[in-house]
Amino acid sequence: MKVAIIPARGGSKRIPRKNIKPFYGKPMIAYSIEAAKMSGCFDRIIVSTDDAEIAHVAETYGAEVPFVRPASIADDHATTMDVIEHAVQYLIDHGTRPEYVCCIYATAPLMLPDYIKQGLVKLRESGVEYVFSATTFPFPIQRAIHLTEQGAVRMFDDEYANIRSQDLVEAYHDAGQFYWGKTKAFLTKKTIFSEHSEVVLLPRCRVQDIDTPEDWELVEALFSVL
């Protein structure tokens, strides 16, 4: 059995009600639910939430909400791994042990169903514990700078100051869309960003975190042209 778990708590502060805020005519979470359904990968699509309104919206768009997320993993300090481990253990306790689990974030309107399918294929064929979405940094991270308290410029590492950008190793980051994993890996909270994981590479135009109002405006602009 393959299960999608979409974490969606109700307490978003920087963008209030972010998970169900209208986005091009639909609640934001609807895009994640629909991408999961269109991928054809899942036997069940479950939303983990502590919020009755989010639960109603999720069910309206075809997801299950079989439990109310406990308050202990619904605050600012709870991790995604805590939420997924709880949901998987709930399923096991109620007679269902999935073979593969995919955590899909509720704020990923640029995600395509085909990326989700690619992740499942990689997980099955590669023998790794996890497969997640990633993309490249738009600028060499070795050239990163910071500012001192006095406003002076400093490189994080002077070693790379005079190396051509094309000679630097390309760096990647988590795209924040989905995380496929084997059930045991999630239950034991095995680290995702490690040698036992592989990635599905996404174009940068398909990746945008949505944590601030500015992020929301950026993803609206991207969505309108893709």
**Host H or E run for residue 58:** helix 52-60
Number of residues that make up the chain: 226
Alpha carbon separation from 200 to 33, 69, 134 (Å, rounded): 19, 29, 6
Instruction: Give me the DSSP letters along 68-103.
Output: BPPGGGSSTT--HHHHHHHHHHHHHHTT---SEEEE
What pLDDT, in 10s, does the model give residues 28-76?
A: 999 999 999 999 999 999 999 999 999 999 999 999 999 999 999 999 8
Q: How many domains are there within the chain?
A: 1
**pTM of full prediction above 0.85:** yes
| Residue 155: inside a domain | no
pLDDT at 103 (0 to 100): 98
Rounded mean pLDDT for each run of 10 residues along the chain, 226 residues in total: 97 91 98 98 98 98 98 92 98 97 98 98 97 97 96 96 93 98 97 98 97 96 96
Question: SS3 of 145, please?
Answer: strand
Q: Which domain holds residue 96?
A: 2-135+172-225
- pLDDT recorded at residue 85: 97
**154 DSSP β-pair partners:** 146
Asked if the structure places residue 152 within a domain, the reply is no
In a domain, 117, yes or no: yes
- Whether residue 143 is contained in a domain is answered as no
Pairing of strands 197-201, 130-136: parallel
Predicted pLDDT at 201:
98
Residue 47 covered by a domain: yes
**Residue 197: strand pairing partners:** 130
Q: Is 147 among the domain residues?
A: no
User: Does 29 reside within a domain?
Assistant: yes
Residue 215 belongs to a domain? yes
The CATH number covering residue 16 comes to 3.90.550.10
DSSP string for residues in 152-178: -EEES-GGGTTS-GGGSPP-EEEEEEE
Q: What is residue 12's predicted lDDT score, i.e. its pLDDT? A: 83
Model pLDDT, residue 184: 97
Tell me how far apart the 2 most distant CA atoms of the chain are, in Å: 60
